[in-house]
A and B are shown apart, each in its own frame.
Chain A
């Protein structure tokens, strides 16, 4: 079993993510340098907090190019929550900020009103359903394999990703009557807006799938 490399850029609480991989017997390495990223068999980009701070954290450690190169080489990469949003080209959180650009699209604020114009709560906090999207009927041959449509996972977020290509949309959830990108995927890069490490049995499917993808 290859180790899982979690990118540690100082912003997020890694412990729960790390424990979830260890739960299945995987060894976890923390990467804080380009060499550690280059050596990875599978990468996890976790994150909570603001987009700008996250990207600045990656830049300060010179990790942006190494992550891009690893993704281009086909190394499995899982972004979680803010880490998922940073996979996209740019975010409008507190201005306009450039992301990793691994999945075409942008990150925008969840509207303050629902589909019928009534005030809704932002952030979305809580359990919500995963539904196949982008023309897919199920989650086969993805990191969501084994999850059934409609199973619930745990979200905490104020911003949502909008993939440009429908084919990159793997799963949506419905909040306030609108579809929100729950999981985006392009090649070996997968981003989960929800927290697989906090979503019980369903979330652990994703953790185990990445361990398998790591070889």
Chain B
């Protein structure tokens, strides 16, 4: 089977609004997240990713009523992230209809949580979210948390490898430097992480065209998370799939 690239709509949510920033800063309100998610679902997106981006400040995930609406009319895999600290938090969002959880901050502070989630719900449920910023003073990338505000000191490739050893079934890899710009993804970062781990890497940050997605796929991404490109209606899911097929990249039809 030729590997198809999965297209994931990434919806960052703040207080019930879909928001989008640049490099995770300067958030703009765009509307009702459910309306956007439903449109992408009907147009053939492969998965939906909801991130409650203020949750980690308040230590709670606040997506429950968005999730409830999602289960009513969106029938594809749903991943939820933001502010998930404990196994109980994970259980709560899964019971509300999520299929997977994406965890960043709590995984850095308490890596055991990765193993706990994988053992309780299977590794396919445990997505390790890594916010990567290129180091200024040295080679490589450093993992950030609290929505790109705090630095962990962890090397991204090393952390990805360790996360998978602990039980992560996928890596959601966001390039903070490229995020929101739509000028291309950080292909070298994608390549290094994809080469280092045997699990799928979901590349995020910077996709501005089908060509950018094709380049990420070539670098080893199994999936690409899209936000500005779709939310600002620079293209549609249908157009994007056509363009990818035109460039020889397999997608779900």
A102 in the interface, Cβ–Cβ < 8 Å? no
Task: Specify which chain A residues have a CB less than 8 angstroms from the CB of B72 in the assembled complex.
Answer: 19, 22-23
Q: Does B73 sit at the interface, judged by CB under 8 A?
A: yes
The yes or no answer to A103 lying at the interface (CB within 8 A) is no
A203 to B199, CA, bound (A): 26
A198 to B75, CA, bound (A): 5
Q: Scoring B residues 57 to 99 as 1 if CB is less than 8 Å from chain A, else 0, what string do you get?
A: 0000000000000011101110000000000000000111101
**Are B252 and A20 interface neighbours, CB within 8 A?**
no
Q: Check if B186 is an interface residue, CB within 8 A of chain A.
A: no
Contacts A156-B124, A174-B1; is A19 near B71 (CB within 8 Å)?
A: yes
Main SS of chain B's interface residues?
Answer: loop
Number of interface residues of B (CB under 8 A): 25
Bound Cα distance from A105 to B40, whole angstroms: 40
Please name all residues of chain B whose beta carbon is closer than 8 Å to the beta carbon of A176 when the two chains form the complex. Answer: 1
Could you tell me the distance between the alpha carbons of A127 and B95 in the complex, rounded to whole angstroms?
A: 23
Please indicate the chain A residues that have their CB under 8 angstroms from the CB of B41 in the complex.
200
Q: Which of B4, B124, B169 contacts A127 (CB 8 A)?
A: B4
Decide: B124 and A154 in contact? CB cutoff 8 A. Answer: no
- Do the beta carbons of A154 and B1 come within 8 Å of each other? no
Are B75 and A203 in contact (CB-based, < 8 A)?
A: yes
Report which of A13, A123, A128 forms a contact with B122, defined as CB distance below 8 A.
A123
The residues of B that contact A156 with a CB separation of less than 8 Å are 99, 122, 124
Q: State the Cβ distance, A60 to closest chain B Cβ, in Å.
A: 20
Q: How far is the CA of A13 from the CA of B124 in the complex (A)?
A: 15
B95/A154 in contact, CB under 8 A: no
Closest Cβ of chain A: how far from B196's Cβ, in Å? 15
Chain B residues, Cβ within 8 Å of A204: 75
Q: Say whether B211 faces chain A, with CB atoms less than 8 Å apart.
A: no
Which chain A residues lie closer than 8 Å to B198 at the CB level? 119, 121
Q: Which of B44, B97, B169 touches A125 (beta carbons < 8 Å)?
A: B169
Residue of A nearest to B94 (CB): A13
- A48 CA / B124 CA spacing, docked (Å): 12
Query: A128 near B76 (CB under 8 angstroms)?
Result: no
* Nearest chain B CB to A175 CB, angstrom units: 7
Query: A residues engaging B (CB < 8 A)?
Result: 13, 15-16, 19-20, 22-23, 48-49, 119, 121, 123, 125-128, 152, 154, 156, 174-177, 197-200, 203-204
Apart from the given pairs A20-B75, A23-B75, A156-B124, 16 other A-B contacts in the complex at a CB distance below 8 Å: A15-B95, A15-B97, A16-B75, A16-B99, A19-B71, A19-B97, A23-B72, A49-B122, A126-B4, A127-B6, A127-B46, A127-B252, A152-B252, A176-B1, A199-B75, A204-B75
